[in-house]
Amino acid sequence: MKIVILGYGKMGHEVEQIALQRGHEVAYRIDTEQDWYCNIDDIADCDVVIEFSTPDTAIANIEKCFELDIPIVIGTTGWYAHLDDIKNRCKNEGHTIFYAPNFSLGMNFVMNLNKEMAKFAKKYNYQLDITETHHIHKLDKPSGTAVKLAEDIIENNDNYEYWELDDDMQENDDKMLRINAIREGEVFGIHEIKALSECDEITLRHEAFSRKGFATGAVIAAEFIQGKKGVFTMEDLIK
């Protein structure tokens, strides 16, 4: 594949290394508006864009790819308030996107376990909460992964109706699922889901040791969507 990396920061550099290791060509590295428009004609001839930018620029980046009708893998989180609009436009206009709150294969395995633990907690009266820890440079809070974990719990355990960030809590409601978000040091990402009863505590925990897992998942996602149209996630890839 001829890959365009959109957002050439630490994640962009990691994606480049993985793409090269897997035998792909990194045709362009886009980090500014000037980079994009200086190469726009040639970008249109590439196979896929892998995007790791910022929540503030993600929507504009997706729209640029729609204009060129080039598939895009979106690693940025924090823009999901616009997700329904983007998905509808993608389907209506025949484009291709692959988005995920977390591209780590290991984390997506934990996400599946989280759904099962939510059902278990409902049946046996365990209380659930989520804690996520990331580096101080992460802009969105809570992480997209933590939000996805919370949404899956709510879908599979009707003891909970909504989630709330611990910092924003106004009151303690039994129907509320608490998310604790910690920003410290250079932590790549830790997610913990705890189930607590009077008898014991169960913990699901995933810790990323580096950015390599996220980059690997993103490149595999780019390979997966070649020749496909529509909206795809890690659940589609893992299946």
Q: Which amino acids are annotated catalytic?
A: 134, 138
Nearest to 152 by CA among 132, 131, 177, 135: 177
Residue pair 47/71 in contact (Cβ under 8 Å)? The answer is: yes
Give CA–CA dist 31/33, Å, rounded: 7
Q: Choose among 153, 157, 148: nearest CA to 233.
A: 148
Q: Between β-strands 176-183 and 162-165, what pairing exists: parallel, antiparallel or unpaired?
A: parallel
Q: Using the structure block, give the residue that is written with the tokens 């990194």.
A: 26
Which of 214, 189, 194 has its CA nearest to residue 204? 194
Tell which residue, 44, 76, 72, has the closest CA to residue 57.
76
